[in-house]
């Protein structure tokens, strides 16, 4: 186990002791002060790797897990994973500082909050540092589960439960699709390592599973990163506490899909399908998010749709930049189009800074005013000057205005869409002009909602009469984290090339490893002369200002769209439809009759199992190697049959129980004949105990309402019984007559030599299959604890009721 593995497991291990810390120190010390050490220590460690990784080095460590299936816990650090790792723990550190002052240590279940947060943090680190696609998937699903817990943290609220359920359903659906894609990718490449897939990528594009694998993987990426039409879960996830929104929905979880697309661009990039799916869905998401953000009246809902829009921008850049792989290493277009991927990485970093800052400021506004409703806010600029300043920095950066880092990456975005329009591949020569037009229109609406965020909240008349609290500026503890992020927004604008040298270029080289040496990324500059990109930005500012000023005159256009056709309504209708119909189907076959359930099960065995074996020639009976049947075998079988019929035709419960017990005792004679006295003794003990228990239970049952004089004949029962018996008999005979492999019994014959055991059964249970036995014991222990807990709860409830009386 290396240091790389330890930084991934550190949050998980610390999560175990958080409840004990909470119990020991609450309410004297906020639990967050202890949890803060986890991301801070990991950040320091990752920060020390920057010089080495920026020089082109990588770190690699393997912990064997399931080597026979080529599934090992392989940690890999390159420029891309290091960048994401720094964002995860860097923003995580600031979020924990913020949450210490945002969440009350007396009224909140902080142990739950920080356990969920650490689980998510560890899962994200495992996701970005995993080289094995199936280990990556495990961490991917842990992020879905932990985000579900975080979103539903205030689980007493209906909207929190609804938002958590929606995010879980959509992202887990995407995760399962991604798993299917990974399985196909593994089948194509015969490896589970991402590095190994890179080595054989030239041979897989013609495989029949290549396109299905690509589509399934992208579904996983699109659902996690809230791309259209899966973006509907993100606004409802805003019911989570603001620290969670700032962490999951601006800097980390929603970037997981972006990371997956970036990581697998060397595998799928340069193809027509990848180009249009990634860039097309991205550009549509950009427009969809910006249009919907303008009409929001809740500040967090506005930021949610702005996040969707910005994620679409980043996704489209990765799609457009993938065209560089089509041209190869030597073409002049390669460097031109690859710059889009550099822009995507740069904007990803910028977005984490300004959006994290904005979420925290909105949380401060909500915390100090008691509302996020824009219609109840206004005139806060003089009362909350620091929050106003931070909102201006974050919003103007998101709008793409100088002197903020968003301006630099937005200009690079305009350059990328302008270059895309001039492509002569992937049908771009026919419809390529549409992309810069949509990008520019979306940028105009981005400018509008940024102005709404700033001026509708902080300008105008103070509406104290509509608020339940006396407004005042947030505490210094709440302001520390957004101040740091806001400062980074400005620092990155004035020193972008320092960031590019140590973080952006290594990440860019990881996305395009085969082109990294041939592509020279230009120095980032705020001024490139009076070019098309600058005029596009000026046009955005001018038209955006006009649209904001005259917002009331055209805002009603949103009402023209039928609300019944929104994606949320379609989701709710689909969910209700499935629930109602599944209930009807379930009510149809769940009759409450054990006989009906047994009919279903046994009919399935006869039709599916028996039918399949019959159709595919599975019944192959070979008795040539069977032992001769002795008179003792015939006698015992006859006695077993008589006992079975005695059960069928017995008229009292006592007779039936005795007959069943006799049948079990007779089976023990077979073990004696087959020279297994230990199994015979076990069988005798089990039958004795179970027969006694049956008699004890039936003794306390009420008497039969009417005496059974005869057993009525039921044709369905007879057919099913004979059918099941026939199928199982033929399966047993076929299994005995078919030898696909050498018998494993010869291996266990050496149990004394291999395990030092004289009893072969004990050797199998304890040594050869010790893990199975341990898990069986674990299952029984869990069941016992469950029974004990239920009994204790029942007793506690009864005592409570008696006390109330």
pLDDT computed for residue 77 by the predictor: 94
CB neighbour burial string for 378-394, b if at least 16 within 10 angstroms, e if fewer: bbbbebbebbbbbbbbb
User: Average of pLDDT values for 573-588?
Assistant: 89
793: region left, alpha or beta (phi > 0 left; psi from -120 to 50 alpha): alpha
Q: b or e along 464-473 (b: 16 or more beta carbons within 10 Å of the residue's beta carbon)? A: eeebeeebeb
The confidence score (pLDDT) of residue 542 equals 95
Query: Distance (Å, rounded) from C-alpha 7 to C-alpha 92?
Result: 14
pLDDT value of position 629: 81
pLDDT, position 785: 92
Q: What does the pLDDT look like over 702-724, one tens digit per residue? A: 766 655 556 677 788 889 989 99
pTM, entire model: 0.82
Q: What are phi and psi of 295, to 5 degrees?
A: -90, 0
Q: What is the DSSP letter of 626?
A: P
Tokens describing residue 360 = 């925290």
Which H helix or E strand runs over 102? helix 79-102
User: φ, ψ for residue 77 (rounded to 5)?
Assistant: -120, 120
Instruction: Give the confidence band of 802 by pLDDT, cuts at 50, 70, 90.
Output: low
Which of 67-71, 257-261, 662-666, 801-805 shows the lowest per-residue confidence on average (mean pLDDT)?
801-805
Give the CA radius of gyration of the chain: 33
Indicate whether 221 pLDDT > 90: yes
Q: What is the pLDDT of residue 692?
A: 86
pLDDT at 184 over 90: yes
Tens digit of each residue's pLDDT (9 = 90 or more) over 303-313: 999 999 999 99
| Residue 374 · residue 299 · CB < 8 Å | yes
Report the candidate in 41, 34, 10 with the shortest Cα–Cα distance to residue 20: 34
Q: Give me the half-sphere count of Cα atoms (radius 13 Å) on the Cβ side of residue 673.
A: 16
Q: What is the mean pLDDT of the chain?
A: 88
The b-or-e profile of 50-86 (16+ CB within 10 A means b, else e) is beebbeeeebebbeeeeeeeebbbbbbbbbbbbbbbb
CA atoms within 13 A on the CB side of 67: 3
CA distances from residue 392 to 291, 357, 446, 582 in whole angstroms, order as listed: 21, 10, 14, 50
Average pLDDT score over residue span 19-39 = 90
Q: Give the pLDDT confidence of 523-560 residue by residue, as tens digits.
A: 888 888 888 999 999 999 999 999 999 988 888 888 88
**Contact present, 493 and 407 (Cβ < 8 Å):** yes
Task: Give the range with max mean pLDDT: 498-507, 610-619, 768-777, 794-803.
Answer: 498-507
d(CA 286, CA 732): 61
Nearest residue to 322 (alpha-carbon basis) of 62, 592, 515: 515
Q: Lowest-confidence range among 102-111, 440-449, 532-541, 597-606?
A: 102-111
* CA dist., res. 684 & res. 681, Å (int): 5
> Tokens representing 101?
């002052």
The pLDDT, as a whole number, for residue 709 is: 59
Kindly state the tokens that stand for 787: 């029974």
**Residue 258 pLDDT > 80, yes or no?**
yes
The three state secondary structure string of 286-336 is HHHHHHHHHCCCEHHHHHHHHHHHHHHHHHHHHHHHCCHHHHCCCCHHHHH
Closest to 297 measured CA to CA, from 185, 401, 449: 449
- Per residue in 723-735, pLDDT (tens digit) is 998 999 888 888 8
Taking each helix axis as running N to C, give the angle between helix 405-421 and helix 332-369, from 0 to 180 degrees, rounded to the nearest 10: 140
């Amino acid at each position: 186990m290396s240091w790389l593995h330890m930084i991934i497991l550190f949050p998980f291990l610390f999560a175990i002791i958080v409840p004990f810390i909470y119990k020991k120190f609450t309410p004297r010390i906020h639990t967050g002060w202890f949890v803060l050490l986890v991301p801070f220590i990991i950040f320091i460690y990752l920060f020390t790797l920057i010089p080495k990784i920026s020089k082109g080095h990588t770190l690699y460590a393997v912990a064997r897990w399931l080597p026979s299936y080529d599934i090992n816990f392989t940690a890999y650090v390159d420029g891309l994973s290091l960048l994401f790792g720094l964002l995860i723990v860097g923003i995580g550190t600031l979020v924990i500082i913020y949450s210490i002052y945002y969440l009350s240590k007396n009224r909140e279940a902080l142990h739950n909050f920080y356990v969920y947060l650490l689980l998510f943090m560890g899962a994200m680190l495992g996701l970005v540092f995993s080289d094995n696609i199936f280990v990556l998937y495990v961490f991917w699903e842990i992020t879905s589960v932990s985000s579900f817990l975080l979103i539903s943290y205030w689980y007493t609220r209906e909207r929190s439960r609804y938002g958590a359920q929606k995010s879980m359903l959509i992202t887990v659906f995407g995760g399962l699709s991604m798993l299917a894609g990974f399985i196909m990718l593994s089948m194509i490449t015969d490896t589970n390592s991402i590095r190994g897939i890179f080595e054989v990528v030239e041979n897989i594009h013609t495989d029949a599973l290549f396109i299905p694998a690509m589509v399934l993987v992208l579904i996983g990426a699109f659902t996690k990163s809230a791309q259209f039409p899966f973006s509907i879960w993100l606004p409802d996830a805003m019911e989570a506490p603001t620290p969670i929104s700032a962490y999951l929905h601006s800097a980390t979880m929603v970037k997981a899909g972006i990371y997956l697309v970036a990581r697998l661009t060397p595998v799928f990039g340069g193809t027509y399908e990848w180009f249009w799916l990634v860039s097309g869905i991205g550009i549509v998401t950009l427009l969809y998010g910006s249009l919907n953000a303008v009409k929001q009246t809740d500040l967090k809902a506005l930021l949610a749709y702005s996040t969707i829009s910005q994620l679409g921008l980043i996704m489209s850049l990765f799609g457009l930049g993938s065209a560089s792989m089509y041209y190869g290493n030597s073409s002049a277009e390669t460097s031109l189009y690859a710059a889009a991927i550099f822009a995507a990485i740069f904007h990803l970093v910028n977005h984490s800074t300004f959006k994290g800052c904005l979420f925290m400021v909105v949380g401060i506004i909500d915390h100090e005013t008691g509302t996020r409703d824009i219609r109840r806010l206004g005139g806060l600029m003089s009362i909350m000057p620091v929050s106003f300043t931070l909102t201006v920095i974050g919003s103007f950066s998101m709008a793409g205005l100088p002197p903020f880092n968003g301006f630099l990456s937005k200009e690079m975005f305009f350059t990328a869409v302008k270059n895309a329009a001039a492509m002569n591949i992937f049908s771009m020569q026919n419809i390529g002009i549409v992309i810069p037009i949509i990008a520019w229109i979306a940028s105009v609406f981005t400018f509008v909602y940024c102005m709404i965020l700033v001026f509708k909240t902080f300008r105008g008349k103070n509406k104290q009469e509509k608020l339940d609290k006396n407004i005042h500026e947030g505490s210094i503890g709440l302001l520390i984290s957004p101040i740091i992020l806001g400062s980074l927004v400005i620092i990155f604008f004035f020193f972008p090339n320092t960031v590019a040298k140590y973080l952006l270029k290594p990440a860019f080289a990881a996305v395009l490893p085969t082109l990294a040496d041939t592509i020279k990324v230009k120095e980032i500059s705020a001024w490139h002369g009076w070019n098309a990109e600058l005029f596009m930005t000026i046009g955005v500012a001018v038209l955006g200002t006009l649209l904001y000023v005259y917002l009331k005159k055209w805002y009603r256009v949103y009402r023209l769209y039928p609300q019944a056709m929104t994606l949320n309504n379609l989701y709710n209708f689909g969910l209700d439809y499935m629930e109602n119909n599944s209930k009807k189907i379930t009510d149809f076959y769940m009759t409450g009759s054990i006989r009906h359930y047994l009919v279903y099960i046994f009919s399935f065995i006869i039709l599916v199992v028996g039918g399949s074996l019959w159709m595919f020639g599975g019944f192959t009976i070979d008795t040539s190697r069977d032992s001769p049947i002795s008179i003792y075998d015939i006698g015992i079988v006859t006695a077993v049959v008589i006992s079975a019929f005695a059960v069928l035709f017995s008229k009292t419960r006592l007779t039936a129980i005795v007959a069943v017990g006799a049948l079990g005792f007779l089976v023990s004679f077979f073990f004696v004949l087959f020279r297994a006295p230990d199994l015979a003794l076990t069988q005798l003990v089990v039958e004795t105990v179970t027969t006694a228990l049956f008699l004890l239970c039936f003794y306390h049952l009420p008497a039969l309402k009417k005496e059974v004089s005869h057993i009525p004949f039921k044709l369905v029962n007879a057919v099913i019984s004979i059918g099941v018996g026939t199928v199982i008999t033929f399966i047993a005979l076929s299994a005995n007559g078919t030898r696909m492999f050498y018998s494993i019994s010869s291996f266990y014959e050496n149990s004394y030599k291999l395990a030092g055991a004289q009893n072969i059964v004990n050797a199998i249970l304890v040594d050869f299959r010790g893990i199975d036995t341990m898990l069986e014991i674990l299952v029984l222990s869990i069941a016992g604890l469950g029974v004990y807990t239920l009994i204790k709860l029942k007793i506690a409830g009864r005592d409570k009721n008696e006390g109330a009386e």
